[in-house]
Chains A and B, each alone.
Chain A
């Protein structure tokens, strides 16, 4: 298994797209850090960009990589290797390389300029989002046979998690504004990894006051150390469940 991961990782690290992604993240982070004199403001601005860019790139890159490795997968299937090992190696290589790109692009400059728990939390959120969205991409790619449909699916998933979901939540909150919505809004927040990441970090930055009463509820649920742990456990679930599903599908797939 380790050998397979090594080959996948070597292959991805040679990819120009990943280098471009790292460079892009680095440029944005440095710009943000130079522009703002206030750490909270810089981190907040950076968070908003990270929450848009990281899922998008992780989804698209992983999807394209999976389809482009069709040959490699085919080659490995004829060898005495377990199917789930092939897929898990592919995933590990992908997630690791996206993680490396994120850590170099965002983590390194951020932690140098503003070392502290908040910066570390932003890096952790971005890192786990990279892993989650490459897991989701894997699930989509294993399910869809056709490359174009797979990539379309990935873009749709990004659209859903980044834009559509928030719209739906807002719509629901307005529609049922006569009822107490604290519990539902916490649950709805947990059902989207992007939102969950945002909430965890906003609470840390004490911007929750701007979210009104719901913010106070979020504060009481996710605001303490136990809450942050809970949030990360949920995020971990967002990783393991898609992987488990894709392994199950991959084991029964005809290639």
Chain B
């Protein structure tokens, strides 16, 4: 569904991405993991067209995403640090996004707004929100338009255990519906029963891209944390 071909990106002297080749299929939850600064977020931003790669091409449903914007209607993005206009309330923000991203005929998925308990907070201004609540808003916006691809950058960072559980459940149901979910996270133990594949990035390169059973077989470890530790050593 999404194919990265020879993607490189350099920020000044820093090589953020170094000829990345990757193919992501639909109906799977894929974990994008790697140390800090390994290029996870940059890769995601390339996919969303926020960062323009120096070389290479990204295709979404076999269409080059360069000079295109319509493909983003199929992507729900939850940023690592959700930054929103300060003096808007949560309700206004959600209404604005609905208004801008008119999904004619497409049903809205407001399940998370209800489940994460945002309903009573709709009148609160973005400026006054805690990091966790902000994260909840990001999650709601990512799932709101029922997109076929979900890109979640550190989705559970800053969320309390209950909310994080609700979000993980949601991710599971969406994957089961045949969506492609791309998750980056540092908390590997969380990913264990969530993802089907692992992409490991290091220094802007793909170290490996394996399914969980394959990884378990190769390393002889059951838990993702141990398996990754095994590879890193």
Is B a genuine binding partner of A?
yes
Q: Which residues of chain B have C-beta atoms less than 8 A from A76's C-beta?
A: 100
Q: A254-B50, A254-B52, A255-B50 are in contact. Are A78 and B84 (CB under 8 A)?
A: no
Write the nearest CB–CB distance from A252 to chain B, whole angstroms: 6
A residues 240-255 in Cβ contact with B at 8 Å: 252-255
A212 at interface by CB-CB < 8 Å: no
Contact partner of A78 (CB less than 8 A), chosen from B11, B77, B87, B88, is B77
Are the C-beta atoms of B85 and A4 separated by less than 8 Å? no
> Is the pair B84, A255 in contact by a Cβ cutoff of 8 Å?
no
Chain B's nearest CB lies how many Å from the CB of A85? 9
Cα distance A3–B98 when bound, in Å? Answer: 11
Assuming the A-B contacts A14-B87, A79-B72, A255-B51, are A74 and B97 also in contact, with contact meaning beta carbons closer than 8 angstroms in the complex?
Answer: no
A252–B195 Cα gap in the complex (Å)? 34
Q: Indicate if the CB atoms of A80 and B96 lie closer than 8 Å.
A: no
Q: How far is the CA of A1 from the CA of B52 in the complex (A)?
A: 23
Query: Does any Cβ of B come within 8 Å of A159's Cβ?
Result: no
Asked whether A82 and B69 contact (CB < 8 A) given A77-B49, A255-B51, the answer is: yes
Chain B contact residue count (CB 8 A cutoff): 26
Interface residues of A in 34-86 (CB under 8 A from B): 69-72, 74-83
Q: Is the interface of A mostly helix, strand, loop or mixed?
A: helix
Contact B52 A70 (CB under 8 A): no
A80 CB contact (under 8 Å) in B45, B69, B79, B83: B69
* Pairwise interchain contact B71-A69, C-beta atoms closer than 8 A: no
For the complex, is B13 an interface residue (Cβ under 8 Å from A)? no
**CB contact under 8 A between A71 and B85, given known A7-B96, A78-B77, A80-B71:** yes
> How far does the Cβ of B160 sit from chain A's closest Cβ, in whole Å?
24
Of chain B, the residue at the smallest CB distance from A86 is B69
Query: Which listed residue (B79, B85, B86, B100) contacts A79, Cβ 8 A?
Result: B100
**Bound-complex Cα distance A19 to B72 (A):** 37
Chain A hits for B48, CB < 8 A: 77-78
**Docked pose: A225 CA to B112 CA in angstroms:** 63
Q: Is B83 within 8 A of A71, CB to CB?
A: yes
**A contact residues, range:** 20 to 34
B85 A11 Cβ-Cβ under 8 A: yes
Contacts of A75 in B (CB 8 A): 83-85
* A77 / chain B contacts, CB cutoff of 8 Å: 48-50
**B99 close to A (CB within 8 Å):** yes
Taking CB atoms and an 8 Å cut-off, the chain A residues in 1-16 that contact chain B are 3-4, 7, 11, 14
Task: Name the B residues within 8 Å of A71 (CB-CB).
Answer: 83-86
Say how far B101's CB is from chain A's closest CB, in angstroms.
Answer: 5
Least Cβ–Cβ distance between B134 and chain A, in angstroms: 11
A16 CB to closest chain B CB, in angstroms?
Answer: 11
Contacts of A252 in B (CB 8 A): 52
Bound Cα distance from A254 to B49, whole angstroms: 9
Collect the chain A residues with CB atoms within 8 Å of residue B104's CB: none
16 A-B interface contacts by CB (under 8 A): A72-B84, A75-B85, A76-B100, A77-B50, A78-B48, A78-B79, A79-B97, A80-B70, A80-B71, A80-B72, A83-B49, A83-B69, A252-B52, A253-B52, A254-B11, A255-B50
Besides the known contacts A7-B96, A80-B69, A81-B72, 7 further A-B residue pairs in the complex with CB atoms under 8 A apart:
A77-B48, A78-B77, A78-B79, A80-B70, A80-B101, A81-B100, A83-B49
